Amino acid sequence: MNVPEVAEIANTREMISLAKEVAGEGAVPFRATLFDKSSSSNWLVAWHQDTALPIRERREVPGWGPGSVKEGVVYAQAPKEALQRVVALRLHLDDSDLDNGPLRVLPGTKTLGVLTDEEIHELAQKIAPIDCPVAAGGVVLMRPLIIHASSKADSEKARRVLHIEYAESARICAELQLAMV
């Protein structure tokens, strides 16, 4: 979010409108990540949930788990109640198809709360995944608690995705405020 061009995209009328539909009228972008999968940078992402949130300062708050610091930013494991107030908008800069490692999700898992690695593994054995191919310019909305993954790309085509997270408020709970990263 510190890159002006990214902040500009995150705050466009279209992106804010989509975020407000899911996160609420106060939707604010707080974190952006560029995923750049290509033939020279190709990786597999195992089934997981996104449970760490960037916060302005570390405080002991009931329900919030251990914290860490990455590049000077404090992250904490967030409880279900906080994560349900977050939505990610994934803006596809390139076509994402079945050959270049698209997002895969386990449908129906966003409501199950924060799960252990073992629970995630068990669900991945039971639930048929859905691949999420998207044309360039398309946007996928996802909640952080949906179990998701991606395969390595089987083609030379790039798959760049700007993943922008929004919360209904920068104050994620009474005691904590999100850091803008």
Residues 6+ apart with CB under 8 A from 30: 1, 54, 165, 166, 167, 170, 178, 179, 180, 181
Q: Kindly state the average pLDDT of the residues 153-167.
A: 93
Domain boundaries, the chain: 4-177
Q: With contact defined as beta carbons under 8 Å apart, do 158 and 32 qualify?
A: no
- What SS3 class is residue 112? coil
Longest distance between any two alpha carbons in the chain, whole Å: 47
pLDDT, tens digit (0-9, with 9 covering 90-100), for 44-97: 899 999 999 999 999 999 999 998 999 999 999 999 999 999 999 999 999 999
Phi, psi of 16 (to 5 degrees): -65, -40
pTM of this structure: 0.94
Question: Which numeric CATH code is attached to 4-177?
Answer: 2.60.120.620
Radius of gyration of the chain, Cα coordinates, nearest whole angstrom: 16
Q: What is the pLDDT of residues 85-144, one digit of tens each?
A: 999 999 999 999 999 999 999 999 999 999 999 999 999 999 999 999 999 999 999 999
pLDDT band at 179 (very low <50, low <70, confident <90, very high): very high
CA atoms within 13 A on the CB side of 42: 14
In the predicted structure, residue 25 carries a pLDDT above the cut 80: yes
Cα 134 to Cα 97: distance, rounded to the nearest angstrom: 7
Structure tokens, 181: 């990263």
Three-state DSSP at 83 gives helix
